[in-house]
């Protein structure tokens, strides 16, 4: 949040029911993402908060993490679509993983985002 100059409260109350993906080296966490199972009226799996420490970017970790998370979604919820709120400049990255845009761009914490969905196989 600080690096992207996007200081906002991101308290959605869902962390306790999520799966948390943390990648560490010997000293510290270097990447994080979360998988939000279907909840309430939402019959879709959500992926979010994909972050990679700046010293580890450009090594393909984002793709590796997303491939792992999508495999986990397929194993746990094979009949459900997977949704993300993607930073707009990463649309092509997510398209390469099978996601499609489902709406217009919007501002989220001062950063342009777009909702994207990967349809269940």
Q: What is the CATH number of the domain that holds 94?
A: 3.40.630.30
Enclosing domain of residue 62:
15-118
Counting beta carbons within 10 angstroms of the beta carbon of residue 47, is it exposed (0 to 12), middle (13 to 18) or buried (19 or more)?
Answer: buried
Residue 61 lies in a domain: yes
In this structure, are residues 53 and 33 in contact, taking their beta carbons and an 8 Å threshold? no
pTM score = 0.85
Q: Please state the domain count of the chain.
A: 1
Per-residue model confidence as pLDDT tens digits over 58-106: 999 999 999 999 999 999 999 999 999 999 999 999 999 999 999 999 9
CB 65 within 8 A of CB 50: yes
**Which among 121, 98, 120, 101 has a CA at the least distance from the CA of 112?**
101
Q: Which residues pair with 24 in a beta bridge?
A: 29
Is residue 95 in a domain? yes
Q: Is residue 4 part of a domain?
A: no
Confirm whether 2 is domain-assigned: no
Q: Is residue 99 part of a domain?
A: yes
Task: Give a yes or no: residue 5 inside a domain.
Answer: no
């Amino acid at each position: 949040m600080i690096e992207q100059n996007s200081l906002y409260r991101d308290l959605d109350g869902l962390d306790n029911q999520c799966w948390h993906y943390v990648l560490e080296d010997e000293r510290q966490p270097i990447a994080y993402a979360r998988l939000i199972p279907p909840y309430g009226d939402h019959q879709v799996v959500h992926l979010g908060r994909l972050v990679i420490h700046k010293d580890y970017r450009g090594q393909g970790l984002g793709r590796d993490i997303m491939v792992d998370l999508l495999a986990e979604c397929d194993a746990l919820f094979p009949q459900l679509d997977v949704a993300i709120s993607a930073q707009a400049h990463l649309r092509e990255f997510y398209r390469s993983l099978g996601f499609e845009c489902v709406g217009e761009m919007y501002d989220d914490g001062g950063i342009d985002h777009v909702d994207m969905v990967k349809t269940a196989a």
